[in-house]
């Protein structure tokens, strides 16, 4: 006992310091342990909350037009890529957002990043946007969504609907990329037909939600001036679907000079048709039924002679 007392008296300060260090280390370990436990608890709660939110989130699996359902996995993927696109736009990551577009969308509407910036981004994303996504129509290769862009009320305080925008965004299944600005798809066709020296070639087709646009090449291989259409009626240039339903062109948007061909000339003209997007209603023919083979004679004699050209697609 005396030895212990003597040791204590001789080394009191050292023993106290060591004891304090041990206690301090113990307390630090306890605090770190408690912090780690709390972080794990919060992470678990966040993961559970995110899981519940994803489970409870009303996914746009059902078409608001046809009632057709898309499976949950596909819908989650489509919503994710659309939300990613909007998030990039909100952050001003214009080139990254542009890279989410399909090659066809770029080629048809936005050939460069500047085209996308000036004709889409600068119009819709002047301020941050929140969005509502609704399933619109679906095909074997695409899913199309009606997307409404709202102002972020929390950041702007504006509750007006005047600055909202609606777009139709299509997710291409093969690439997981987007077609925006209501463009569903575009493709090259290269189908032709001819009659009495006049040849019409369908070069390409662009499908939008509310209409279709076809690009044509008109060739006059005769000695006369040819009029592809007199534009007297909207029913003379039309599409024909597999059920023989006609879809008229927007003749009021065509300049008559574009349809008049001098001898041995060629013109390329785009024509819009009043055909809404329907994934199961494909066009089988394009028909020009008001072709005048000798336009100069027609103007003098005002004859009723017409020629027709049907191009099978």
Task: Point out the least confidently predicted range of 54-58, 128-132, 146-150, 229-233.
Answer: 54-58
pLDDT band at 2 (very low <50, low <70, confident <90, very high): low
Asked if the domains at 72-181 and 185-312 fall in one CATH topology, the answer is no
% of the chain surpassing 90 pLDDT: 72
Q: How large is the C-alpha radius of gyration of the chain?
A: 34
Measure the N-to-C terminal CA separation of the chain; round to a whole number of Å. Answer: 110
pLDDT in tens, 98-119: 999 999 999 999 999 999 999 9
**What's the pLDDT at 155?**
52
Between CA 197 and CA 207 the distance in angstroms is 30
Query: Structural domain boundaries of the chain?
Result: 72-181, 185-312
**What's the pLDDT at 54?**
45
Average pLDDT over every residue of 32-42 = 67
pLDDT in tens, 274-287: 999 999 889 999 99
Between CA 252 and CA 312 the distance in angstroms is 25
Tokens matching residue 292: 């005048």
**What's the pLDDT at 159?**
47
192 vs 33, higher pLDDT: 192
pLDDT band at 39 (very low <50, low <70, confident <90, very high): low
Tokens matching residue 152: 């972020």
Q: To 5 degrees, how large is the angle CA 52–CA 54–CA 59? A: 135
CA–centroid distance for 40 within its chain: 40
15 vs 148, higher pLDDT: 148
The yes-or-no verdict on residue 74 having pLDDT over 80 is yes
Dihedrals phi, psi of 278, to nearest 5 degrees: -145, 110
**What's the pLDDT at 52?**
43
The yes-or-no verdict on residue 7 having pLDDT over 70 is no
3-state secondary structure the chain: CHHHHHHHHHHHHHHHHHHHHHHHHHHHHHHHHHHHHHHHHHHHHHHHHHHHHHHHCCCCCECCCCCCECCHHHHHHHHHHHHHHHHHHHCCCHHHHHCCECHHHHHHCCCCHHHHHHHHHHHHCCCCEEEEEEEEEECCCEEEEEEEEEECHHHHCCCCCCCCEEEEEEEECCCCEEECCCEEEEEEEEEEEEECCEEEEEEEEEEECCCEEEEEEEEECCCCCEECCCCCCCCCEEEEECCCCEEEECHHHCCHHHHEECCCEEEEEEEEECCCCCCCCCEEEEEEEEEECCHHHHHHHCCCCCEEEEEEC
**What's the pLDDT at 56?**
43
Q: Which CATH class is domain 185-312?
A: mainly beta
pLDDT in tens, 170-201: 999 999 999 999 999 999 999 999 999 999 99
210 vs 16, higher pLDDT: 210
203 vs 282, higher pLDDT: 203
Q: Which CATH class is domain 72-181?
A: alpha beta
- Listed residue (239, 232, 282) closest to 254, CA to CA: 232
**What's the pLDDT at 304?**
73
The yes-or-no verdict on residue 301 having pLDDT over 90 is no
Mean of pLDDT over the chain:
88
Average pLDDT over every residue of 121-145 = 95
**What's the pLDDT at 305?**
83
The yes-or-no verdict on residue 157 having pLDDT over 60 is no
The yes-or-no verdict on residue 44 having pLDDT over 60 is no
Between CA 161 and CA 183 the distance in angstroms is 24
CA–centroid distance for 299 within its chain: 46
pLDDT band at 23 (very low <50, low <70, confident <90, very high): low
Q: Give just the sign of the alpha carbon dihedral 105, 109, 114, 120.
A: negative
Between CA 291 and CA 313 the distance in angstroms is 20
**Burial per residue of 16-25, b for 16 or more beta-carbon CB atoms within 10 angstroms, e otherwise:** eeeeeeeeee
């Amino acid at each position: 006992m005396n030895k212990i007392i003597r040791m204590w008296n001789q080394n009191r300060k050292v023993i106290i310091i060591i004891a304090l260090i041990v206690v301090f280390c113990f307390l630090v370990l306890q605090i770190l342990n408690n912090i780690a436990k709390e972080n794990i608890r919060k992470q678990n709660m966040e993961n559970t909350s995110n899981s519940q939110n994803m489970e409870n989130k009303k996914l746009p699996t059902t078409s608001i037009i046809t009632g057709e359902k898309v499976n949950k996995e596909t819908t989650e993927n489509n919503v994710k890529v659309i939300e990613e696109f909007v998030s990039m736009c909100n952050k001003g990551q214009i080139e990254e957002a542009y890279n989410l577009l399909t090659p066809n969308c770029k080629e048809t509407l936005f050939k460069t990043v500047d085209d996308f910036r000036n004709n889409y981004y600068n119009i819709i994303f002047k301020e941050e946007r929140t969005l509502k996504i609704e399933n619109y129509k679906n095909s074997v290769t695409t899913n199309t969504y009606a997307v409404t862009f709202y102002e972020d009320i929390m950041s702007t305080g504006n509750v007006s609907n005047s600055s909202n925008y609606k777009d139709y965004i299509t997710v291409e299944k093969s690439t997981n990329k987007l077609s925006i600005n209501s463009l569903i798809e575009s493709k090259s066709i290269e189908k032709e037909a001819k009659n009495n020296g006049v040849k019409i070639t369908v070069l390409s087709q662009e499908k939008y939600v509310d209409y279709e646009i076809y690009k044509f090449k008109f060739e006059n291989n005769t000695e006369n001036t040819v009029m592809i259409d007199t534009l007297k009626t909207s029913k003379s240039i039309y599409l024909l679907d597999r059920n023989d339903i006609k879809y008229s062109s927007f003749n009021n948007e065509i300049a008559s000079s574009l349809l008049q061909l001098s001898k041995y000339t060629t013109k390329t003209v785009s024509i819009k048709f009043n055909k809404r997007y329907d994934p199961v209603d494909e066009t089988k023919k394009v028909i020009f039924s008001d072709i005048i083979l000798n336009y100069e004679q027609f103007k003098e004699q005002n004859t009723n002679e017409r020629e027709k050209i049907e191009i099978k697609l």
